[in-house]
Chains A and B, each alone.
Chain A
């Protein structure tokens, strides 16, 4: 956009400088607001319980201790078990990786068909899939629980993978469809004349073009699945819970003393994978967010 800030007439330079200064001050204040909870979590997780009780929320730790992290990782109690977050962290990894891979692959094929191989009814199918993105999942919770039970997948990791793939397809299809729809239809025609078939065209021409949207989709799906709580809490049992459920159990476990430092360390551990993804590939994360909302 045209530079609105520099548009003000160059009357008093002093006045202008004051305004700029205020602007930066306000922006800085908000940055503090967003950062403070993370800061508090981090410092709390490095303090001993005595220091927490004695000191203030925002004070830096006097004696840095990593034992809350060790506890959170390997011995904090999630109810009756006291194995820390570790097994659940790996559960989440085991759920997220196949679910992300499968839903992304399906979305890519679906998007390719809907955008480039239009047939009668394709738009209706797309609309139906799109509506599926917006339902509150509560409305499928009960029948899904029964179905997983019937399939023998109740409380299992494959069951959770299945659920995440099914309810991820809508968004992944949307992402790929919106990306492929910008590719001129002539490309498929040219490849058809060249003798290439449906899969050949996808593999040789569309897939090599798709890296940006694959990154967007994988990040989106990973964030969604890693952060999921509703499916995790509804369809898992003691040994198969994902990390979010375990974190909630640790925080709300009523046995023994309330260990705030362990809670915070556990929260950071649970948040770390998505935070790292965000810091490394924030651009793609934001693109997914806006694509999922603006273009939805």
Chain B
């Protein structure tokens, strides 16, 4: 199938500053692409470039096989939902939703029919005569979605649409967007700085930093096999433990030696690791460090550690210890007997380990 969105070698400069560098992305129809990264990474600029709201300085961009590089937003067959919702303040909800059709000269009957469909779909029928100022945050969000849905575009663009909602509503709307995506089977590009949103919504994630794509992949790929230290640190909460270690070859296996504040170093053996340099960073997710006896498998190895802190979080209890001069978090079950300033035997699942080069930050395995 032809990609619905195809971005090739896209560059964007503001004067002498490069905001986006050599962006290459292609997504299939029905994909849910999430652009994620810290603020200032260029993800919103990229979305504006896709929408045609910003001109691009180099490269090309096509939507559904048509070159859109120099086409104005209104002719790109896209719809967009904004962070501030950008509802037209003097128009009623109904007028907000039909404004685009009115501008395009769609006849009144069609406008009314589509408005009815969308209003029913989003359950905002009772709000149609209100002004945006009279709506709650969640209702505005729905109206903004309605304005996009009614267009039935080739591509939906979302610019951090949930960041102005409170935590509870955000989770609700997240589910709703996901349901919408599944029922419409539409193609969507979604910008967020919230990595949980990215994980839950995306079929494909693009992680960006300083205008450069760090990694493109499915949520599972990004989570399990981060391509560099930045992605490893950015995706996942609590973040992946990144522990400096010394690697030496012992036959077919690799011996990992991790310094501790007191006592002998912690030694872990990896049977499947590739050839590693002497100094490495070992990446282990908190859930890959469990209480001894609760995890089994070929890579699991147990060791006594001094617990610095215990943080119960309801379903899980997080335990913080210190390894290689870094705070290391382990995700334990809720009923753990771990106590601060006491020793606890932890199980490290080394089969899940990621290895990174300390200088370049690149993944080694």
Are A and B associated in one complex?
yes
Binding site for B on A (CB under 8 A): 184, 186-187, 189-197, 200, 204-205, 208-209
CA distance A193 to B159 in the complex (A): 13
Does the CB pair A193–B104 fall under 8 Å? no
Question: Among residues 58 to 95 in chain B, which have CB atoms less than 8 Å away from a CB atom of chain A?
Answer: 72-74, 78-80, 82-91
Chain B residue contacts of A189, Cβ below 8 A: 48, 51, 53, 73, 80, 82, 86
Chain A residue contacts of B87, Cβ below 8 A: 190
Binding site for A on B (CB under 8 A): 48, 51-53, 72-74, 78-80, 82-91, 99-100, 103-104, 147, 151, 159
Q: Which of A192, A204, A208 contacts B73 (CB 8 A)?
A: A192
Q: A195 and B86 in contact (CB under 8 A), knowing A189-B51, A200-B103?
A: no
Q: Which of A186, A191, A193, A200 has the most CB of B within 10 A?
A: A193
Does the CB pair A194–B51 fall under 8 Å? no
For residue B99, give the distance in angstroms from its CB to the closest CB of chain A: 6
Does the CB pair A205–B90 fall under 8 Å? yes
Does the CB pair A205–B88 fall under 8 Å? yes
CA distance A14 to B99 in the complex (A): 65
Chain A residue contacts of B90, Cβ below 8 A: 205, 208-209
Does the CB pair A184–B103 fall under 8 Å? no
For residue A87, give the distance in angstroms from its CB to the closest CB of chain B: 42
CA distance A200 to B147 in the complex (A): 18
Does the CB pair A209–B89 fall under 8 Å? yes
Q: Which of A186, A195, A209 contacts B74 (CB 8 A)?
A: A195
Chain A residue contacts of B72, Cβ below 8 A: 192
20 A-B contacts (beta carbon < 8 Å): A186-B82, A186-B84, A186-B85, A186-B159, A189-B51, A189-B53, A189-B73, A189-B82, A192-B52, A192-B72, A192-B73, A193-B78, A193-B80, A193-B100, A194-B151, A195-B103, A196-B99, A197-B74, A205-B91, A209-B89
Chain B residue contacts of A197, Cβ below 8 A: 74
For residue B144, give the distance in angstroms from its CB to the closest CB of chain A: 8
Chain B residue contacts of A193, Cβ below 8 A: 51, 53, 73-74, 78-80, 100
For residue B14, give the distance in angstroms from its CB to the closest CB of chain A: 10
For residue A191, give the distance in angstroms from its CB to the closest CB of chain B: 7
CA distance A196 to B78 in the complex (A): 14
Q: Which of B48, B72, B74 has the most CB of A within 10 A?
A: B74
Chain B residue contacts of A204, Cβ below 8 A: 88, 91, 99
**Chain A's interface: helix, strand, loop or mixed, by majority?**
helix
Q: CB-nearest residue of chain A relative to B100?
A: A194
For residue B140, give the distance in angstroms from its CB to the closest CB of chain A: 12
Q: Which of A195, A205, A209 contacts B100 (CB 8 A)?
A: A195
CA distance A189 to B48 in the complex (A): 9
Chain A residue contacts of B89, Cβ below 8 A: 209
CA distance A204 to B87 in the complex (A): 13
For residue A201, give the distance in angstroms from its CB to the closest CB of chain B: 10
Chain A residue contacts of B78, Cβ below 8 A: 193
CA distance A55 to B53 in the complex (A): 75
Chain A residue contacts of B52, Cβ below 8 A: 192
Does the CB pair B53–A191 fall under 8 Å? no
Q: A186 and B83 in contact (CB under 8 A), knowing A196-B103, A204-B88, A205-B90?
A: yes
Does the CB pair A190–B86 fall under 8 Å? yes
CA distance A213 to B88 in the complex (A): 18
Q: CB-nearest residue of chain B relative to A189?
A: B53
Q: Which of A187, A192, A195 contacts B88 (CB 8 A)?
A: A187
Does the CB pair B99–A192 fall under 8 Å? no
For residue A63, give the distance in angstroms from its CB to the closest CB of chain B: 56
Chain B residue contacts of A209, Cβ below 8 A: 89-90
CA distance A20 to B79 in the complex (A): 62
Q: CB-nearest residue of chain A relative to B80?
A: A193
Does the CB pair A186–B86 fall under 8 Å? yes
Q: CB-nearest residue of chain A relative to B153?
A: A193
Chain A residue contacts of B73, Cβ below 8 A: 189, 192-193
Does the CB pair A194–B99 fall under 8 Å? yes
Does the CB pair B103–A192 fall under 8 Å? no
Does the CB pair A184–B99 fall under 8 Å? no
Chain A residue contacts of B82, Cβ below 8 A: 186, 189-190
For residue B87, give the distance in angstroms from its CB to the closest CB of chain A: 8
For residue A190, give the distance in angstroms from its CB to the closest CB of chain B: 4
Task: Name the 3 nearest CB pairs between A and B, nearest first.
Answer: A194-B100, A186-B86, A195-B74
Chain B residue contacts of A184, Cβ below 8 A: 84, 86
Q: CB-nearest residue of chain A relative to B74?
A: A195
CA distance A197 to B147 in the complex (A): 18
Chain B residue contacts of A200, Cβ below 8 A: 103
For residue B137, give the distance in angstroms from its CB to the closest CB of chain A: 15
CA distance A189 to B99 in the complex (A): 14
Chain A residue contacts of B80, Cβ below 8 A: 189-190, 193
CA distance A184 to B53 in the complex (A): 15
Chain A residue contacts of B104, Cβ below 8 A: 195
